[in-house]
Amino acid sequence: MKTRLLFLQSCSARVAPLALTLTCAALVPGVNAWAQTQVVKPPVAQYWMDVATMSMAGMDEMPDLPDMGALGGLMGGMTGMPGMGGVSFGATRGMMPGRWLDLAVVTQRKPAGTEATQTIPAGQNMGPSLLLLPVQAQPSARQPGRESVDDMPERPKGRILFYWGCSETVRPGQPRVLDFAKTEAPDYGKFMMGRAVRDSGAKATPGHAVWPNEKQRQKVPASASLTGQHALSGEGLPASFKFAVGQAQDFMPKLALSTQGSGASATQVSWPGLPTARAYFLNAMSGSDNAGEAEMVIWSSSDVPEPGWGLMDYASNANVDQWLKEKVLLPASQTRCAIPAGIFAKAQGAMLRGIAYGQELNLAYPPRPTDKRIAWEPEWAAKVRVKSVSMAMLGEDGASNRPQSRPDTPQPGAEPAKSNTPAIPGLPDVGRALKGLFGK
């Protein structure tokens, strides 16, 4: 240390003050190492794979057909939900039972989009490869002009009641109540606010090449497995674009929700634990519109006030860890949860949703150098996200395990019935409550 100080003193006598920091410190090993920042460049190509398993209690998975045709279109038209209208990009965000994939890739070398081929493991049972096609920019459907008075929404009417926590009885301090007759518009958002994350998965945006697409839209077989080697090739994609998917990122089993009890008594929800699940989350909702008094009831399994609007989707490993720490999510070891007695007593039915969060995989090649003096310039990066989502109906004992009644199939050529009521699959009361609350 004494030698180093003498060197700096000697150096400072010969070097101008401005150069001292840049020259003398650089000559002494270790003096500026703490301040060194590694140069990190974005990957030449980025790939996303969203993996989802969907299930609905009492509803079998759709047959392994190349395209669900009229039935898929009917479901999509009835619900207005992605993934309810057949095999199309975005089905991982829907609720159609089955296994679903959304794939996307983008490269800096061809910003407008590149056609790509993804070779897949034999166990995926979908042929040797999948074709990813560039997304074309679509003209905006929005017409210029100002909103008319007739298009303005009505002031909401009724109440929303919010409960939370796994408990057979309502906990002290609950529910939180939003009474629209006594609440101003700025307070609506505060009541509805909850945790959410920025979407970082596969997107069908211009410049991205995606699967499924207009040329390839086959359904993922129930027997499909993603484990094994995957590779991407195409103009502008690095030749090194190869990676392996392990069991932790394979399709998760169905989240088989089972319920016992009714709205008047506590409802016991249980499910078999999933081997690769990192955490679980449940929420339920119901609606009633009696004598013009609309009321919506919301419950979540969170131990703290969290409605869960943004939690029924993929979450990063860091988010899952944080929400487990905050007791928002249920740990992977928990397979039971009680819904408090009486909170859904007024409704003829309530919809229960559950999600199991899988392990997110993030890869990049070449790996990041440990020496900060060496810039990191990855050729490619890949993200794989996994979840299993389920929906069931609450009501009589075992109701979630019985087949749900299906709507009558319209006659050929008949126009589908139109309704101004928001459509929620299997839960018309919630739709009526929403209409009662929000009017148009």
Q: Which residue has the tokens 């929005």?
A: 142
Note the pLDDT tens digit of each residue in 407-426: 344 444 444 443 333 333 33
**314, 319, 331, 391 from 279: Cα distances, Å:** 12, 11, 5, 17
**pLDDT, position 76:** 44
User: Which structural domain, as residue segments, surrounds residue 189?
Assistant: 45-136+155-438
40 lies in some domain = no
Share of the chain above pLDDT 90, in %: 58
**pLDDT, position 26:** 45
Q: How confident is the model at residue 155 (pLDDT cuts 50, 70, 90)?
A: low
**Tally of structural domains, the chain:** 1
* CB burial string 379-413: b at 16+ within 10 A, e below: ebbbbbbbbbbbbbbbbeeebbeeebeeeeeeeee
27 lies in some domain = no
Asked if 340 contacts 367 with a C-beta cutoff of 8 angstroms, the reply is no
Q: How confident is the model at residue 183 (pLDDT cuts 50, 70, 90)?
A: confident
Q: How confident is the model at residue 234 (pLDDT cuts 50, 70, 90)?
A: very high
Burial of 378 (0-12, 13-18, 19+ CB in 10 A): buried
**pLDDT, position 269:** 96
Ranking 86-95, 151-160, 413-422 by mean pLDDT, the lowest is: 413-422
Long-range own/partner contacts, residues 115-120 (CB < 8 A, 24 or more apart): 115/209, 115/234, 115/235, 116/209, 116/232, 116/233, 116/234, 116/237, 117/232, 117/233, 117/234, 118/211, 118/230, 118/231, 118/232, 119/229, 119/230, 119/231, 119/232, 119/233, 120/226, 120/228, 120/230
**pLDDT, position 25:** 43
Nearest alpha-carbon partner for 53 in 83, 89, 88: 83
The CA distance from 250 to 304, in Å, is 31
19 lies in some domain = no
384 lies in some domain = yes
108 lies in some domain = yes
Share of the chain above pLDDT 70, in %: 70
33 lies in some domain = no
Note the pLDDT tens digit of each residue in 288-336: 877 667 889 999 999 999 999 899 999 999 999 999 999 999 999 999 9
414 lies in some domain = yes
**pLDDT, position 154:** 65
Q: Which residue has the tokens 């009724």?
A: 158
**pLDDT, position 139:** 74
6 lies in some domain = no
**pLDDT, position 224:** 98
